[in-house]
Structure 1
Amino acid sequence: MTHDEVTGAVRPLTLAWVNRHLEVGEQVVGVEELHGGITAEMRRLTIGTRDGGTRHLVLRTFVDPYFVEHAEDLLHREADALAVLADTDVPAPAPVAVDPGAAHCEYPSLLMTHLPGRTVLADEGLEARVPLLARHLVAIHALRPADRPQEYQAWTTADAVVPPHGADAVAWAAATDVIRKPAPRYEGRFLHRDFHPGNVLFDEPSHDAAALRITGVVDWVQTSWGPADLDVAHCSTNLAMLHGPAWGLRFAEAYEEAGGVLAATAGERLYWRLLDALAFASDVEPVARPWREAGRVELTTRAVEERLDAYVNSLLEALG
């Protein structure tokens, strides 16, 4: 890319800020928009190095007014989480620079290292990927940082739940009554809080399932302290909508097979699973759209709503 093209792809103040955090003699020579994000603009920056080579960085920028308002907390949380993860075996980016209040950039931004691999959202090969997802989530929950992140926040309440059009009204009323109760007591864990296939990078050499590995876990802006069940619930809901309700149920089994510990009773597990699933009820389109952009064109809003409805019913049958 020419200098003018780079300047056109990254806002001028932000580009100047990025340049201040590069090594002497380096410059941004390429910009690629990364798709799949919901809350922020994501760009991969190609950096030309002094020896004529290249390396990559990732730039997160919040531009939506709602997220700009909350950016200071979110970007501090992500930068702090990435600093904690740097000394662990959990593959995560390293923070390079953060401007949470847009003191230097046009919008709040975070610059971080780039990880190899890609997200994989296809149904094919899911049986091999689910155990890997589970093992990495167990490893995340095993972390005990000296400074805990903030306590988790529920993303819905019973009074806010609006069942999808055509959903089983009786089942949704029963599900809503479950989360109307006080939250069960829990043993706190370090949570990613947005752990799902869209935030996990895989390396799949020659499509050999035996060589499959996770190369990165990204998007740590919601890092929290709370029950392991809540992270399991969020990944389960995403798997149910992306691949079918049975995979939502399967993930919790895989998590326990990997050594993870969930709530002791079925009722407690049901509470956390439904607390997450019902949070998607009012609008599944923000998650369905990136899946379609990634090639899952059959996942229309209606199709995802039907899978969510079926998953809520399957939870009530399995744990209710």
Structure 2
Amino acid sequence: MNKKLIHQWLEKVLGKDIHIKEMTQMKGGISSPIYRIKTSDDQEVVLRQFTNKEWLGNCPDLALHEAKSLECAAKTGVPSPKIIAFDEKGFETEHPTVLMSVLEGEVILDPDNRKEWLRGLAQTLATIHTVDVNMPWNYYTYNRSFETGDLSWSSVPDQWLKAIQIVKNDRPHTEIGFIHRDYHPANVLWKNNEVSGVVDWVNACIGPRGVDVGHCRLNLAQLHGVDTADAFLDEYLLLTKDHFSYHPYWEILSLIECLPGPPEVYRGWTELNKSDLTNQLLIERLDQYLLSLLNRFVE
């Protein structure tokens, strides 16, 4: 980070005669560094810089994308950061940069009351899915080639091949709308046992709502096992029974994005003090989750 450039830019967008009083890198910013900044006039803001050259090569408009996604997120009623300013190409800040408001709360990965935690996750996602917005970014799967690599790490490699064949077939008809695209427990903040906000909207787009459900379920299956992922689905379906048609295809598609394996413990989880996971445990849980999804699938 070029602090001199950041200082000059903050003066421009927040007002003259301020300087950075405190700057702390926040946990969980794996794909891009995120800083909480306190200025000399006691404003607190969050600054995100996109420094990953490979990611920017594939998605050169990341700062613009997140800024517009935050504008859309504000319409959901779910607490989310408010966009303050962005430097789309990084001409003023060295890297593409987004400046946003602070959300209070903490990430909870091991809740004291798992049922209430899952209900909060499901209710928040269901609320996000009710908003009607227009934006130019549309869903696409990250694993476009569906190449498996070596599946010898799995105890059921033939079942992974079956799943890959499923996602290569025609997609089922489904509801399309505004989705977070990276909705999972590490992007949800809690305060006083209630959801206080959702962060990391850079991948938000128009797409199948089942993708959000599938991505969250994938993370829950890894963090806590299939039963927890199933319990989340039950909560979500109860809340959306009048306007959501469930199909396991989207969950299988989300799962396939783990490939090529073998799976490894996500560094963001360990930075958030999730210490009971191992690579082998993830492999076992993903195999179990795969089998549960195939059991749900009816051609």
TM over 0.5, yes or no? yes
After superposition, residues 204-283 of structure 1 pair within 5 angstroms as 204=192, 212-259=193-240, 261-263=243-245, 269-283=247-261
Percent identity, aligned pairs only, is 30
CA contact (8 A) 1:29 1:46 kept: yes
Greater displacement, 13-22 / 75-84 = 13-22
Greater displacement, 230-239 / 123-132 = 123-132
Higher helix share: 1
Quote the offset at 1:100 in angstroms: 1.8
Counterpart of 2:95, as a letter, is: Y
Quote the offset at 1:74 in angstroms: 2.2
C-alpha separation in 2, matches of 1:99 and 1:167: 47
1:316 aligned counterpart, secondary structure: helix
Counterpart of 2:36, as a letter, is: R
Partner of 1:90: 78
Partner of 1:150: 137
Counterpart of 2:92, as a letter, is: H
Which of 270, 275, 279 matches 1:301? Answer: 279
Counterpart of 1:225, as a letter, is: I
Quote the offset at 1:68 in angstroms: 2.9
Which structure 2 residue ranges, 5 or more long, are not aligned?
A: none
Which structure 1 residue ranges, 5 or more long, are not aligned?
A: 1-8, 205-211
C-alpha separation in 1, matches of 2:269 and 2:210: 25
Which of 16, 21, 24 matches 1:29? Answer: 21
Counterpart of 1:13, as a letter, is: L
RMSD: 2.0
Quote the offset at 1:70 in angstroms: 4.3
1:86 aligned counterpart, secondary structure: helix
After superposition, residues 1-320 of structure 1 pair within 5 angstroms as 11-49=3-41, 54-70=42-58, 72-145=60-133, 147-157=134-144, 159-162=146-149, 163=151, 165-204=153-192, 212-259=193-240, 261-263=243-245, 269-283=247-261, 284-285=263-264, 288-320=266-298
CA contact (8 A) 2:181 2:204 kept: yes
Quote the offset at 1:25 in angstroms: 4.4
1:60 aligned counterpart, secondary structure: strand
Quote the offset at 1:303 in angstroms: 2.1
C-alpha separation in 2, matches of 1:213 and 1:164: 42
C-alpha separation in 2, matches of 1:241 and 1:152: 23
Post-superposition Cα deviations, 1:75-105, rounded to whole Å, max 9, x if no partner, equal 2121112122334411110111111211111
